[in-house]
């Protein structure tokens, strides 16, 4: 079955004034749709892969499970599809964001010292990513939180990546210029700071809970296994 563009859980203007409606519309209907289209086109050549979920497809990147002639396309566009599907859900209307609570807050304080220190390190990872990429907060198999930055459309599910630790994503921020340039131009740190005003901490808590159980949420439920 072909992959499809997921609907947003809010309207395009819901993240204003921190993320503008025009950027959200273009980002969702143009950029994300292109990743979906390119991924489907690549998998048309190998229809047996169409039954593999997007999470396991990302985990299989750079393994012999993905044929050599579509490895790069799947890495870039399968990564883009997963990353953006994750990204839309980790944001919410500013009126709905109240900061981390419960087990996630306790884990952040245990692993980073404070929520503010976690944000500082996350911001540094996002700002320090040269060119296009992502910043991530994720949990490892031992239940410990880490911050990573990945290039392009790579993500922590792709365990082959150099200088990174395989993680179950909890938070992710897109720092490609198309995510912020209309509003923030070259002021990436300003965009990064604004992100904290739209974080869906309830979703982050669910991601953290699933990650501690070595699961990855997909549309609110654990992703099916390959």
* Phi and psi, residue 125, nearest 5°: -65, -40
pLDDT of residue 183: 98
Single out the residue of 105, 167, 104, 109 nearest to residue 134, CA to CA: 167
pLDDT of residue 219: 59
At 55, list the tokens. 């999470």
Cα separation values, 147 from 35, 122, 177, 200, Å:
25, 6, 21, 18
Q: Is 84 annotated as ligand-binding?
A: yes
pLDDT of residue 1: 77
Q: Is 56 annotated as ligand-binding?
A: no
Task: Tell me the pLDDT of the chain (226 aa) as tens digits.
Answer: 789 999 999 999 999 999 999 999 999 999 999 999 999 999 999 999 988 999 999 999 988 899 999 999 999 999 999 999 999 999 999 999 989 999 999 999 999 999 999 999 999 999 999 999 999 999 999 999 999 999 999 999 996 677 778 999 999 999 999 999 999 999 999 999 999 999 999 999 999 999 999 999 875 444 444 3
pLDDT of residue 223: 46
Single out the residue of 150, 124, 119 nearest to residue 136, CA to CA: 150
Domains of the chain: 21-89 (1.10.287.990), 94-215 (3.55.40.20)
pLDDT of residue 163: 72
Q: Is 69 annotated as ligand-binding?
A: no
Q: Is 27 annotated as ligand-binding?
A: yes
pLDDT of residue 84: 98
Query: Which residues have CB under 8 Å from 167's CB, separation 6+?
Result: 136, 138, 139, 140, 146, 148, 156, 157, 211
Distance separating alpha carbons of residues 216 and 195, to the nearest angstrom: 22
């Amino acid at each position: 079955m072909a992959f499809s563009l997921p609907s947003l859980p809010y309207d395009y203007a819901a993240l204003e004034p921190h993320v503008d409606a025009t950027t959200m519309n273009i980002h969702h209907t143009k950029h994300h749709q292109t990743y979906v289209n390119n991924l489907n086109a690549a998998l048309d050549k190998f229809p047996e892969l169409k039954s593999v979920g997007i999470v396991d497809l990302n985990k299989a990147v750079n393994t012999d499970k993905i044929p050599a002639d579509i490895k790069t396309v799947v890495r870039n566009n399968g990564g883009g599809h997963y990353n953006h599907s994750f990204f839309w859900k980790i944001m919410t209307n500013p009126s709905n964001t109240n900061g981390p609570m419960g087990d996630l807050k306790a884990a952040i304080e245990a692993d980073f010292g404070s929520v503010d220190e976690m944000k500082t390190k996350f911001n540094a990872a996002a700002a320090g990513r040269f060119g296009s990429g992502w910043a991530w907060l994720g949990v490892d198999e031992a239940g410990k939180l880490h911050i990573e930055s990945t290039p392009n459309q790579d993500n922590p599910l792709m365990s082959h990546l150099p200088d990174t630790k395989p993680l179950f994503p909890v938070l992710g921020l897109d720092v490609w210029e198309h995510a912020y340039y209309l509003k923030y131009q070259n002021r990436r740190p300003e965009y990064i700071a604004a992100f904290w005003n739209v974080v869906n901490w309830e979703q982050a808590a669910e991601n953290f809970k699933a990650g501690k159980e070595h699961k990855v949420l997909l549309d609110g439920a654990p992703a099916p296994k390959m």
